Amino acid sequence: MMMFSMVFGVTAQLFRGLRWQQSLEPLGEHARKSTCIHAVFLSYASSLIIPRIGEVTRCGVLNRYDNVSFAKSIGTVVTERIIDSLLILFVVAIVILSQMGLFTDFFAKTGTNLGHFFSQFTATGYIVTAICLLITIAFLYWIVKRMSKYVHFKKIINDILSGIKSVKAVRRKWLFVAYTLGIWVSYFLHFYITFFCFDFTENLGLTVALVAFVVGSIAVIVPTPNGMGPWHFAVKTILVLYGVSAVNGETFVLIVHTLQTALIPVLGVFSLICLSFRRK
């Protein structure tokens, strides 16, 4: 069953590559499907070395092998991230509302107390924070405005903005939606099927897997290689709250995360080999 779960780890990245290729078409950038997929494989592999470098890596691969504008492809990646974030936030809201009691326990056990955190701020603290944010925004605006006088910089900014807006002009929007759902359903199945590999999780059910998946998805926001550390802690805590012993929870997260992380460099090496035979 563990090996079967790996299939969905691959399909999630395949769907991401296909969706990316589709979002580039309205920009007049006709990247090959295979190049987009290999670029995605390499982006995840490179992020294991330097967290968050993957987006730059995949745009660089497309620029090198299919002569796709780096700035435009960066813009489409920004749009992808916004869409994926909105989708996962929607799922998070549904799960939290349906499992409110459990999340209350989760925050209590992990020492997370947003009310206590914000209570540390005085009125002066809020005012100072707001002023700092305004100054930062104004400074960034001044920088962009000043740099926009340079033709080359202005073209880069316009290309990035075109990439961000590309989703509006995507043909067959239903296919774009299908790819997006395919990505996240694959991610979930990649995780859920592993429950059937252990006798202490096989009977927990779909709801528990969904809650653990959502909490794990939030944890990977922390910039560590493939969420290493925060993901282990978050998923283990959820399993313990549902009756799994701490030892078994630790065993689950260590085995599952290690094997699923091992898949990423394998796909990266595969793509490197394939691209080495590709003409630029």
> Which has the minimum average pLDDT: 52-61, 78-87, 123-132, 248-257?
123-132
What is the C-alpha separation between 254 and 38, in angstroms, rounded? 28
Question: Nearest 5°: phi and psi at 200?
Answer: -90, -5
pLDDT at residue number 117: 43
pLDDT at residue number 119: 54
Per-residue model confidence as pLDDT tens digits over 202-258: 999 888 899 899 888 888 877 677 778 888 888 998 898 888 899 999 999 999 999
pLDDT at residue number 162: 74
Per-residue model confidence as pLDDT tens digits over 167-203: 777 888 899 999 999 999 999 999 999 999 999 999 9
pTM comes to 0.80
Angle between the N-to-C axes of helices 246-276 and 230-241, in degrees from 0 to 180, rounded to the nearest 10: 140
DSSP state string for 171-231: SSHHHHHHHHHHHHHHHHHHHHGGGGGSTTTTTS-HHHHHHHHHHHHHHTTSSSGGGTTHH
What is the C-alpha separation between 13 and 197, in angstroms, rounded? 23
Per-residue model confidence as pLDDT tens digits over 112-133: 554 544 455 556 655 766 777 7
For tokens 């299939």, name the residue: 7
The dihedral built from the CA positions of residue 134, 136, 141 and 142, taken in this order, carries a sign that is positive
What is the C-alpha separation between 147 and 141, in angstroms, rounded? 10
> Which has the minimum average pLDDT: 28-42, 98-112, 209-223?
98-112
Model confidence at 147: pLDDT above 70? no
